[in-house]
Amino acid sequence: MEKRLFIAVFITFLFYWVYSTVFFKPPINDISTSENQQQSSAETPSFSPSPLDKTSFTSDLPKMSSEVETKEAIIGKYSVSYSETGGYILSLSSGRYGEPFLYENIFYIPDDNNIVYDTTIEGNTLSFKNQQTSQTKSYSFNDNLISFSNSKDEKKILFFSNKLVDNGLDQRYQDIFYSRTQNVVRKPLRKVKTLTYEGLDYFGARDRYFCISLIPGSYNYSLQAIKNEETKQTDFFLSSPPSSLSFYLGPQDDSVLSNNGIHGVVHYGFFHPIALVISKMLYFFHSFTNNWGVSIILLAITIYGCLFPFTMKSTKAMRKMQMVQPEMEAIREKFKDNPQKVNKEIMALYKKHKVNPMGGCLPMFFQLPVFIALYQVLPRLVDLKQANFLWIKDLTLPDQAFTLPITIPVVGQYINVLPLLIIIISLAQQKFMSTSSTSGSGSQQKSMGMFMAVFIGIIFYRFPSCLVLYWFVQNLLTLGYQYKISKQPS
């Protein structure tokens, strides 16, 4: 193996180490507190939040959960952790998925911080009552909708607290969103400052799978965001709220959210239209396969079939390039002291054999947007969470086929098989499509092909298995077609 290939592989592993450190380890966040950076470029002047002095809210924040006596109950779809001191919900966990939501201290009232309430649970309603003041508060759970009512008018209520997670990749999924006059604004949670938002139709936050949002009503919200730069936690207070409020807490189900007047939560970025089509196709396949792994395979086959004309054209272009490779090497050797003459002769060679040097890249122009859209859709589909396929226990995680007794740098504690299979397939593709020449540019192309095969496999090593499974099927289909083409006479 050439020295250049060793260097390329080393650079690949170095890149992967940096990539893993940034996206899979706790990142160092540089969040500026400058007033000049408080406005998002996506906001219009009517949405401009105003600065808020957070020092006056220090005493309003709830105590740490470790300082509060916690009680738990199963109510409806949720496992509820609540405090009788203050009478509020500390946190909620999803009963189906068995993990806590990232939204805490729901409807905490600062004035009730030291008041002890009596608690009753009747059906799907959690009630708090203070015997001395006769004040009552209740949370009613109806599917993914939760209604809150309070017998006392309050100047301020904490809607929820939201803290940045340590995992850099999951941080990318943490956003807030709000709407006024049907204009939806989204902003990464890490960029939220201490601000006041006036006249909102609704407000909420989302993470990778779930979201929380107030249900639009006949009143406008005035919301204050209090950012703790040290703990990376943001508390969202409602000013002069009504006596009853309803909010959604659950999976990012666009149809359910839209039925409740909440729009614009599910958004997949620049390729959102393509992502929506992919999502609908995946759910269509699942409607009759009842298996998410099989559905992803069918999706990969369908997309491959749609893009096959471009793949076929690309493969033919690559074969033509291979056929003229010996002549190109001869030209380079003959005019090695005259680079301009080499370029001129090679262009004439392309014209003679009707070769397009960029023809092999054609499918990438169509495949790349689809894959970017898939990268946005598949890791965010909560239905894939805990969905198994063959040896894969959770399609939202790496396939983790084998557990190692020790943790190996870069590799981790698990052996992921699908990325290794992708490397093998990529190397096989190089064998079918490479030239027989072992000198000059032919040798360089082989080395580069081997480098790219390893590089892609390493990049995929910690990707969710749903994405890797899709790419594996695509590569397997491409390998089959290339094998067929390689057996045909030139």
* Chain segment 44-64, per-residue pLDDT in tens: 333 334 334 444 444 466 655
What pLDDT does residue 146 have?
92
**Pairwise CA distance, residues 415 & 357, whole Å:** 38
Is 234 exposed, middle or buried (CB count within 10 Å of its CB: 0-12, 13-18, 19+)?
buried
Higher pLDDT pick, 16 / 362: 362
Give residue 416's Cα distance to chain centre.
Answer: 20
Contact 54, 236 (CB under 8 A): no
What pLDDT does residue 454 have?
75
What pLDDT does residue 183 have?
82
Domains in the chain: ranges and CATH: 3-20+273-486 (no CATH), 43-266 (2.70.98.90)
| Minimum mean pLDDT range among 270-284, 289-303, 443-457, 467-481 | 443-457
Instruction: Return the closest-CA partner of residue 91 out of 79, 76, 75.
Output: 79
**Pairwise CA distance, residues 94 & 76, whole Å:** 10
**Pairwise CA distance, residues 78 & 383, whole Å:** 17
| Secondary-structure breakdown of the chain: helix, strand, coil percentages, each rounded to the nearest 5 | 45, 25, 30
- The DSSP-derived string for 89-152 is EEEEEETTT--B-SEESBTB-GGGTT-B-EEEEETTEEEEE-TTT--EEEEEEETTEEEEEESS
**Pairwise CA distance, residues 30 & 19, whole Å:** 18
Average pLDDT score over residue span 330-348: 75
Higher pLDDT pick, 212 / 478: 212
What pLDDT does residue 413 have?
74
443: pLDDT confidence band, cut at 50, 70 and 90?
low
Mean pLDDT of the chain: 76
Higher pLDDT pick, 329 / 86: 86
302: pLDDT confidence band, cut at 50, 70 and 90?
very high
Percent of the chain predicted with pLDDT > 90: 15
What pLDDT does residue 299 have?
93
What pLDDT does residue 358 have?
58
What pLDDT does residue 60 have?
61
421: Cβ–Cβ under 8 A, 6 or more apart, which residues? 472
Q: Which residue has the tokens 């006059």?
A: 181
438: pLDDT confidence band, cut at 50, 70 and 90?
very low
What's the token pair of residue 2? 């050439």
Higher pLDDT pick, 184 / 406: 184
What pLDDT does residue 371 have?
78
473: pLDDT confidence band, cut at 50, 70 and 90?
very high
What pLDDT does residue 445 have?
58
> 421 pLDDT exceeds 80?
yes
What pLDDT does residue 160 have?
92
Average pLDDT score over residue span 395-416: 77
Instruction: Return the closest-CA partner of residue 215 out of 169, 258, 166.
Output: 258
Instruction: Return the closest-CA partner of residue 214 out of 222, 199, 205, 204.
Output: 204
**Range 77-80, long-range pairs (CB < 8 A, 24+ positions):** 77/141, 77/143, 77/144, 77/250, 78/141, 78/249, 80/126, 80/139
Higher pLDDT pick, 32 / 14: 14
What pLDDT does residue 448 have?
64
Average pLDDT score over residue span 439-451: 58
Q: In angstroms, what CA-CA distances link 78 with 27, 45, 95, 146?
A: 31, 39, 5, 11
**Pairwise CA distance, residues 73 & 359, whole Å:** 62
Instruction: Return the closest-CA partner of residue 179 out of 37, 44, 36, 54.
Output: 44
| Minimum mean pLDDT range among 185-189, 206-210, 253-257, 332-336 | 332-336
Q: Which residue has the tokens 């793949």?
A: 311
Percent of the chain predicted with pLDDT > 70: 74
What pLDDT does residue 41 have?
34
Instruction: Return the closest-CA partner of residue 479 out of 423, 406, 407.
Output: 423
> 379 pLDDT exceeds 90?
no
Instruction: Return the closest-CA partner of residue 24 out of 478, 397, 452.
Output: 397
Higher pLDDT pick, 29 / 107: 107
For 248, the 3-state DSSP assignment is strand
What's the token pair of residue 437? 């020449």
**Pairwise CA distance, residues 253 & 266, whole Å:** 8
User: pTM to 2 decimals?
Assistant: 0.73
Instruction: Return the closest-CA partner of residue 342 out of 329, 355, 326.
Output: 329
Which secondary-structure segment (H or E) carries 233? Answer: strand 233-239
